[in-house]
Structure 1
């Protein structure tokens, strides 16, 4: 649908007021961007820390599966480094956000963003000529479409009007019933708020100690994060190449598989439909019978569960006094383990050179044997191959010669069985 110059001027405001509205809107968007930057400062630190911690936890878990004996210690050390680094990184990010929020109020920063706005608006207006032409055409098409759907919209608005009234009555009735309960809840919340107030003071002391503690490990956390990011960079690069090769090789396979699977599913669905329809009434009967059968079982199960719960409660009550005694016994045994573990560690340390020397000696002794194995195995394989080639024809001839006798024997056995069955 073509537009005349008059319709175009009526539909799109091309005078200076339209440009001023666009500039004012862009200025408002930039101001909201400044505020959003300030709000993002606080979130950036915590998001960075959480993302690093999750990535590190995944990496540590994968590495721990390769060495179960060292997995727990490795995970604890690596997680400590990453969590400390993430927490320490969150602190400057928090203060950076506060600083950005404060600096955004200065006239110098606002003038700089104002200049940026003018530059962006002027540059973009010179770039969007093709889009303006498309928008003009879309506007004309949209007017015709709206004229076509206007009767439908009118009917929809007329139909929804009573529903709005009914919904408003329901909301007002809910508020009327809910307001007294909310008032009582607010009055009863005073002890909860008092507990939260005291808890926040204790939480502040705990956080202060936490940050003082992790500050001592800043150097180690920095080294851990540097290694983590370097490793992730190398891993992601390798995974990208692997996924690209898999996509190149697996794309045609997946296309052929889905084409075949679509035909199979279509055929199977057509066959299963009538079968499942016939199973409907029997399954309904089975469900009713199952419910009727389980009802007395469940009713009789109640007293049994009650008795079992009572017995379990008595067992727990009887075992509870033993737990402090067991705890004292374990506490008394633990100090005795220290010299034992120290002695075992010293023994392993002394045995390490002997084991290393033994392994080296065995490797040197077995190396010639392993080197000569191909020369020994090759002739054996040749002998076995020759033997099989010579034996197989003999077995084939023997089976061929014996097959008539085996057939006669089977026939005789069948006749004897039939005669015995008649007698």
Structure 2
């Protein structure tokens, strides 16, 4: 068990945009933080690669060090803001093995080695906190872990990447093309020079693994998450969605289904009446469904040095209070439930299918027959520029083909994928131009 501390020594690993803000807060607001903790809190060092590198806040030279191992060994609480897997993973492991508390915002590390690090923390009696790893300033992980610990969460669904939300929002509200919206996101600092982790969904997938682990008390990694990014979303998709009353968002979803859990990240059509549909710009939001609490939504700034440093400092104060007056057990996560991760084919969802078909009699009948053969029913069907279809394609649409857009009812992902494959094999279907999942309000 951790012994009560009369002074909390803090070591900071990394001094990027977030790290510099955390260092500034710990130095300039030391008296305030100490008062909130109830005992003196002191930043004893900041480990960096290059002490001379320019930073958002000038860290006092006597605090800078290039020896992170020595800093860890002389700290009661280690804040890891290096990011990535190496050397961050080894440094966090070193801290936990010696019983030092760890606060991190490293989603990639937690989504890859989370179960191992939680087990290590339990064994050594250390505390591992990571509120900043999902949703920036939004307090979402502690409410899931603590406030809802007496309930059963069945689904967590969220916009957890500000870059992609900004891009899709610009495409929806201004008609911008994907490349133009991405360039603007980079100019504003929302997107990195290499935006792959964001636009291909990898960042959101790491967060989905963390959310699923916390919500369902079962160990998941990023390898358990189906991942599809937004780079293939076109202006035509955005326009078609808007015409049907939808908006496209990149969602991270963790949901209990069929005795397991399906974790997935992909572009999703949301009805404009859904609470998540109104999340604009680079903001984040997480929607939680629990058996007793019902539906809850957490909303706020999801990226940037200041919002993320706020989440880090919230964890720092909570952990420092624990170190001052330890509880019988450290507040860490237990992977207590054997809940298997299921392939995305086991998910229950709806599809939006946009296709070009020949302009001839009987087309809709053939399409409907394919859906029925695969146990999929049609919720709505429309032909852009025409009234909603009740039977055949409008012969007056002109040209040698027509565009048809279908939204299916809820069905298994496996049946929906088979349906799309069968539609592509029909002679009357020229092309299936877009297939997107649809999320309905519970």
Q: TM-score, normalised by structure 1?
A: 0.17
Q: Which has the larger radius of gyration?
A: 1
Q: Comparing both structures, which one devotes a greater share of its residues to strand?
A: 2
Q: TM-score, normalised by structure 2?
A: 0.16
